[in-house]
Amino acid sequence: MQNEQPFQRLQVELERMIAKKGAGAKLPSEPALAKSLGVSRSTLREAMRTFEVQGLIRRRQGQGTFVVGKQKTFEGGLEVLESIETLSERIGLNVSMGEFDIKRFPVSEENRNLVPFPLKTTLIQIERTINTEERPIAYLVDILPVTILDEKDLQNGFDGSVLDWLLKRGDPVLSQSNTRIDSVEASSEIAHKLQIQRGAALLFFESDVYDTSNQIVTHSYSYFLPGYFDFHIVRQVAKKYFK
């Protein structure tokens, strides 16, 4: 076990409690809650505050604390960094790895604008398609330094997902990614790999993944056939703290 601090337990118990109550429901008073959860009021308030800034509850001095009951951000939308394989599994899509190709090349003067790694870094590029029973539905390209992952690593239980593999190894510790979203028309090369017509519309993600010390780990391009994935995102009104 890693964390048995009261706060951690509190966080999950409180979240469950909030989820169980419907929108608008009133929570017990802080002294009462603290007692029933077996923590001090200060600790309870730290947890409450985190839920408040997330907008899950609303506290009013003199009245009490109420459940706002909005959709949680971290619940399966695009806000979570997860692999296509994991995502597919979660939504019940049965996928397998299709065509698979690995290249090795250094960062040169010609391609340095295309990849966010220093000059002369040796990179490894992993291309693959994701298939359902019937057809390929995505084409993914991951680019990362060989110092992080090389060809022989790929034999140890590699199932197609670089992200999953890195998460499993736990080194480097990944923390977040920055993903650009756009729409593109399939080039003839990609059209061939996905067995579609050249010029067909594809959903396109360009993504940089960072580790906990904010170092870039991988750069990747993803092309998705429209309609097969349910990418969605919860967006918040900018004004975070209102009363």
Site string (54-93) toward a second copy, x via CB under 8 A = -x------------xxxx--x--xxxxxx-----------
178 scored as a contact of a second copy (CB under 8 A): yes
43 scored as a contact of DNA (CB under 7 A): yes
Report how far residue 239's alpha carbon sits from residue 243's, in angstroms, rounded to the nearest whole number. 10
Stretch that binds DNA, among 32-40, 82-90, 130-138, 201-209 (CB under 7 A): 32-40
Stretch that binds DNA, among 63-71, 83-91, 174-182, 189-197 (CB under 7 A): 63-71
Residue placing its CB nearer to a second copy in the complex, 73 or 111: 73
2 scored as a contact of DNA (CB under 7 A): no
Instruction: Report 134-173 residues binding a second copy (CB under 8 A).
Output: 167, 173
Do 145 and 105 meet the contact criterion of CB atoms below 8 Å apart? no
Please list, in sequence order, all residues whose beta carbon lies within 8 angstroms of the beta carbon of residue 46, skipping any fewer than 6 positions away: 7
Residue placing its CB nearer to DNA in the complex, 64 or 116: 64
Stretch that binds a second copy, among 93-101, 106-114, 129-137, 223-231 (CB under 8 A): 223-231
116 scored as a contact of a second copy (CB under 8 A): no
- DSSP line for 4-24: --HHHHHHHHHHHHHHHSPTT
DSSP 119: T
Report how far residue 198's alpha carbon sits from residue 67's, in angstroms, rounded to the nearest whole number. 50
| Alpha carbon separation from 10 to 6, 7, 41, 48, 49 (Å, rounded) | 6, 5, 12, 10, 12
Do 206 and 213 meet the contact criterion of CB atoms below 8 Å apart? no
Residue placing its CB nearer to a second copy in the complex, 102 or 201: 201
**Binding residue (CB under 7 A) for DNA from 12, 16, 19, 64:** 64
